[in-house]
Structure 1
Amino acid sequence: MFEKLFRGRKAEEGGRILAVQNGKVVPLEEVPDPVFSQKVLGEGAAIYPEDGKIYSPVTGIIDSVMDTGHALAIMAKDGAQILIHVGLNTVELQGEGFVTHVTAGQKVYAGDLLLEVDLELLKSKGLSAITPVLLLNKDSFQEVIPFIGVAKAGETVMVQYR
């Protein structure tokens, strides 16, 4: 299936999730929400963003986009299931401040623009902009290694897995 979808353009190699935003990457344990910090949904890392643009961390297919625009899931070409959750409690905004650039079923390449969020709006509403990026099917892989430090969207490897 993927070979037909990605013919003519080089897909990312499996085993890595690129940074979805420019900013500081921290361990999930530092996310001030137990669903993420206790890794209930999956393993990964989170990023404190410098700007409101969110890019695809892998080549794959958009599995789902929340109606509110605050989260989306991607099925990577190598089978990794990735969740990007922009901010904490941002579902409460009911889509205010979010612009989605993709739809479910759409193929994307690493570095494609997925979403935009108004970080000033989040701040004015008292909401955290920290963005957890999770490998939902972590049990399908032997090892998941998050990167910690300053990241550049589409370039820095945020999480490696094998």
Structure 2
Amino acid sequence: MDQIKLQAFVEEQSLSVFSKPFRHKATFNKRLKTTGGRYFLNTHNLDFNPLVLEVLGMDIFEGVVKHELCHYHLHLEGKGHRHQDADFKALLKEVGGLRFTPALKERKPVEQLWKYQCSDCGQLYHRKRRVNTEKYVCSNCRGRLKLLGKEAIQNRS
């Protein structure tokens, strides 16, 4: 989809779903990495991440367009257009827009961390690097640390 088709698609969605015209610019922005789209308060233009369409498909992209159009129409009407506003949540639910864009990148792989336990109080520690158990002690009770081995931890980002 190119810029002209995107503009026509957003205008068509605005008329069919919201029964209101979209009179500003809609563009693809390849620099967007973590978001599906963006609404500009000053210019009323919309930016969309082209990866949403390429990676996740047309259904998800349509949900993102509806989400941004909710911001657009509510802001122009002087109603609550922010994510936490009741007007926004109600309109988004009514039109079937997406609340969040699904992740575009795969999650980072599992990370291996060293696991230690205090021999006195049982406190657990996870460290990326090995710790010299002769030199370092428990921060709670100053007891000796015991190496339990490596443990796989799923990264959050």
Q: Does the pair score TM above 0.5?
A: no
Higher helix content, 1 or 2:
2
Q: Which TM bucket (shorter chain)?
A: under 0.3
TM-score, normalization by structure 1: 0.22
Higher strand content, 1 or 2:
1
Higher RCO by CA contacts (8 Å cutoff, separation 6 or greater): 1
TM-score, normalization by structure 2: 0.22
